[in-house]
């Protein structure tokens, strides 16, 4: 066997593809135009709606010490986080997998004395070690969201939902649905109903899978209630009215009442929002203590955003919602591009400036690249000149107009 053949076999055995200079790590992408512009302008639009409701923009850093970022509510993120050592302090730093814990830290430290309700907004990129689910292919995750810190009221939960809905409407995202859940409800109910601890994990899994047969088998005296709860999931008003008729122990009843109050508060702000309720859903909510919300586009399974109620720095009531702009912006039309005007050599500079003010992009002739557009064409190459050459250049560069002297002409 020759060395080369041996290498080929070794490669195929380790599944190591030949390295390409264009290769990016899985889950990291280059955004080009118009996607990069759509995302940036979309984030601006979201942040504008947040600001119009009094949310003040903050920008925490990309990295923090492990001790601060993964403390308290951040602990659940530990297994998703890239770490590096800070050569200064020899402490481990974490590349943030989520921005919410950073906002909580700011609210408790530098903004500890700021008046409540404290309304904060943010946007930025996070990095996770592995995607949360197979269909979420990104490891660099863009986030844009709001946190509302201080009040623990249905009105506060409802404001977050309502501001998020207004932001999506502003972006023009079609057919969105807000799904409300109450993660503390099922654990509280199983506890109050004295379901044996040994049965709970299997019962929780059955509820999570919406497996009515397994729930009936494992639920004991609670079976009927749990099956009714499973079936209550659906449009918010209908679910709330069903839930009101179920017999529940006091703590579970109070939790469900808070969900009903939140639905009512959302309705007061947004009577037409598509709102659903799933009382037994609890999966994926790691540090949440009250009403949670997932935002979907109707007919699609990807989440556009999610949020809910939690304890900011383990002691202060807070709720928030984070959008995933990278998912969101695949659902809206690309940002409108400026129409492009080619500036022929000698084009009037004042007219060009005025065209830019009117919303055109002007592309100046620079010499050094042939009309054929060959990459790396020698700059010393003799170039054709005159109107025909200029028009060809304009077309080659995707321009719809050409400015020669002070005259702007549309190309056929």
Binders of its own copies in range 159-198 (CB under 8 A)? 159
70 part of the interface to its own copies, by CB under 8 A: no
- Under 8 Å between Cβ of 223 and 189: no
Three-class DSSP category at 352: helix
Contact window for its own copies (CB under 8 A) among 60-68, 183-191, 209-217, 220-228: 60-68
> What are the φ and ψ backbone dihedral angles of 396, each rounded to 5 degrees?
-60, -30
Three-class DSSP category at 282: coil
CA–CA distance, 99 with 145 (Å, rounded to integer)? 9
- Under 8 Å between Cβ of 263 and 240: yes
Nearest residue (CB) to its own copies, 227 versus 371: 371
How many Å separate Cα 226 from the centre of its chain?
33
Site for its own copies in 378-407 (CB under 8 A): 379, 396-398
Task: Give the torsion sign (CA, 195, 199, 201, 203).
Answer: negative
Site for its own copies in 348-377 (CB under 8 A): 349, 356, 360-369, 373, 375-377
Nearest residue (CB) to its own copies, 203 versus 352: 352
212 part of the interface to its own copies, by CB under 8 A: no
Nearest residue (CB) to its own copies, 296 versus 309: 309
Nearest residue (CB) to its own copies, 91 versus 330: 91
Nearest residue (CB) to its own copies, 76 versus 370: 370
Nearest residue (CB) to its own copies, 28 versus 235: 28
Pairing of strands 63-65, 118-127: unpaired
Out of 317, 321, 390, 404, which residue is the one contacting its own copies (CB under 8 A)?
317
- Under 8 Å between Cβ of 325 and 46: yes
89 part of the interface to its own copies, by CB under 8 A: yes
109 part of the interface to its own copies, by CB under 8 A: yes
Q: Binding mask 25-44 vs its own copies (x if CB under 8 A, - otherwise)?
A: xx-xxxxxx-xxx-xx---x
- Between helix 154-171 and helix 35-52 the angle, nearest 10°, is 140
- Residue 294 CB, shortest distance to its own copies, in Å, is 22
Number of residues that bind its own copies (CB under 8 A): 102
Three-class DSSP category at 102: helix
51 part of the interface to its own copies, by CB under 8 A: yes
Site for its own copies in 243-272 (CB under 8 A): 269
Cα first-last separation, the chain: 63
CA–CA distance, 190 with 222 (Å, rounded to integer)? 8
- Residue 53 CB, shortest distance to its own copies, in Å, is 6
């Amino acid at each position: 066997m020759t060395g080369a053949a041996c290498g080929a076999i070794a490669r195929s055995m380790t599944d190591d593809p030949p390295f390409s200079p264009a290769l990016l790590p899985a889950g990291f992408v280059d955004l080009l135009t118009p996607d990069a512009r759509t995302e940036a302008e979309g984030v601006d639009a979201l942040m504008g709606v947040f600001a119009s409701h009094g949310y003040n923009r903050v920008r925490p850093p990309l990295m923090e010490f492990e001790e601060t970022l993964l403390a308290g509510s951040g602990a659940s993120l530990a297994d998703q986080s890239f770490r590096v050592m800070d050569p200064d302090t020899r402490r481990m730093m974490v590349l943030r997998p989520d921005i919410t814990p950073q906002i909580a830290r700011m609210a408790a430290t530098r903004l500890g004395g700021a008046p409540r309700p404290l309304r904060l907004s943010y946007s930025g990129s996070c990095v996770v070690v592995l995607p949360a689910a197979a269909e979420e292919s990104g490891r660099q995750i863009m986030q844009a969201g709001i946190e509302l810190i201080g009040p623990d009221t249905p009105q506060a939960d409802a404001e977050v939902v309502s501001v998020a809905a207004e932001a999506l409407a502003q972006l023009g995202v079609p057919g969105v649905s807000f799904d409300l859940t109450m993660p503390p409800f099922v654990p509280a109910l199983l506890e109050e109903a004295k379901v044996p601890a040994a049965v709970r994990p299997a019962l929780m899994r059955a509820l999570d899978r919406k497996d009515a047969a397994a729930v009936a088998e494992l639920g004991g005296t609670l079976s009927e209630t749990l099956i009714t709860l499973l079936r209550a999931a659906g449009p918010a008003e209908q679910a709330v009215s069903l839930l009101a008729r179920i017999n529940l122990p006091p703590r579970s009843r109070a939790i469900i009442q808070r969900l009903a109050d939140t639905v009512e508060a959302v309705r007061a702000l947004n009577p037409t929002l598509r709102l659903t309720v799933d009382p037994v859903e609890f999966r994926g909510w790691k540090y949440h203590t009250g009403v949670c919300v997932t935002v979907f586009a109707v007919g699609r399974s990807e989440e556009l955003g999610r949020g809910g109620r939690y304890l900011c720095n383990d002691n202060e009531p807070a709720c928030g919602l984070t959008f995933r702009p990278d998912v969101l912006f695949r659902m809206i039309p690309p940002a409108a591009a400026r129409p492009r005007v080619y500036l022929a050599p000698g084009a009037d500079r004042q007219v060009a400036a005025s065209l830019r003010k009117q919303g055109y992009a002007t592309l100046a002739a620079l010499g050094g690249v042939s009309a054929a557009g060959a990459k790396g064409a020698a700059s010393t190459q003799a170039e054709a000149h005159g109107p025909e050459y200029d028009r060809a250049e304009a077309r080659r560069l995707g321009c719809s107009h050409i400015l020669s002297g002070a005259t702007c002409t549309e190309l056929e």
